């Protein structure tokens, strides 16, 4: 599949088969995140792989949107590694960098037939607490993923997009 078709066909999967992701495919997904561009190549991302039933239950206890996925990537950034934006004091790039990482991993997963859903519906501190994350690690997103269930389908709003002319302006 070419990139445009891949990007257009991907949707947020919220229903998964009870089937683990093969280790070699997981490694490809993680490698896609590793090669994602980050500001000044600081690479602040830290990815926690929740495969065990225990770790997935911990996450489900503080997030109602894990969708019984067989695997959840907890995508974080290290505040000590994130790029400080010198021309805009007080701002950093950790959240932007991890957004790029998430996108790379979701698209690689989809190319392998694996669905995912970008989840931001949780309390950062609660997720950090149940996982015992260090103070300098900040949660950016949860990515439940797995093989889409036979009845998985995109939400109706997936097909609603603003016109390009409503988002792009020449200056």
Number of domains in the chain: 1
- Whether 139 is in a domain gets the answer yes
- Within a domain: residue 161? no
Please check whether residue 42 lies inside any domain of the structure: yes
Q: Which structure tokens are listed for 124?
A: 């950062």
Q: Write out the residue range of the structural domain in which residue 28 sits.
A: 3-149
pLDDT, residue 159, reads 84
For all residues of the chain together, what is the average pLDDT? 96
Tens of pLDDT along 122-170? 999 999 999 999 999 999 999 999 999 999 999 989 888 999 999 999 9
Query: Given this model, what pLDDT does residue 1 score?
Result: 75
* Residue 157 located in a structural domain: no
Residue 70 sits in a domain whose CATH number is 3.40.109.10
Q: Is residue 168 assigned to a domain?
A: no
Statement: residue 119 has pLDDT above 80: yes
Overall pTM surpassing 0.85 (yes/no): yes
Cα–Cα nearest to 129, from 79, 51, 74, 81: 74
Inside any domain, residue 69 = yes
């Amino acid at each position: 599949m070419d990139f445009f078709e891949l990007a257009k066909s991907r949707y947020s999967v919220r229903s998964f088969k009870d089937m683990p992701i093969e280790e070699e495919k997981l490694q490809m997904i993680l490698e896609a995140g590793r090669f994602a561009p980050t500001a000044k190549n600081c690479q602040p991302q830290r990815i926690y792989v929740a495969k065990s039933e225990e770790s997935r239950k911990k996450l489900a206890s503080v997030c109602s949107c894990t969708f019984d996925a067989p695997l959840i990537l907890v995508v974080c950034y290290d505040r000590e590694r994130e790029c400080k934006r010198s021309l805009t004091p007080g701002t950093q790039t950790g959240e932007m960098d991890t957004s790029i990482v998430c996108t790379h991993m979701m698209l690689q997963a989809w190319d392998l037939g694996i669905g995912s859903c970008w989840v931001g519906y949780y309390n950062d501190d609660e997720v950090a607490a149940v996982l015992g994350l260090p103070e300098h690690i900040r949660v950016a997103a949860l990515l439940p993923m797995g093989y889409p269930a036979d009845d998985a389908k995109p939400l109706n709003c997936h097909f609603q997009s603003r016109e390009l002319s409503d988002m792009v302006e020449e200056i």
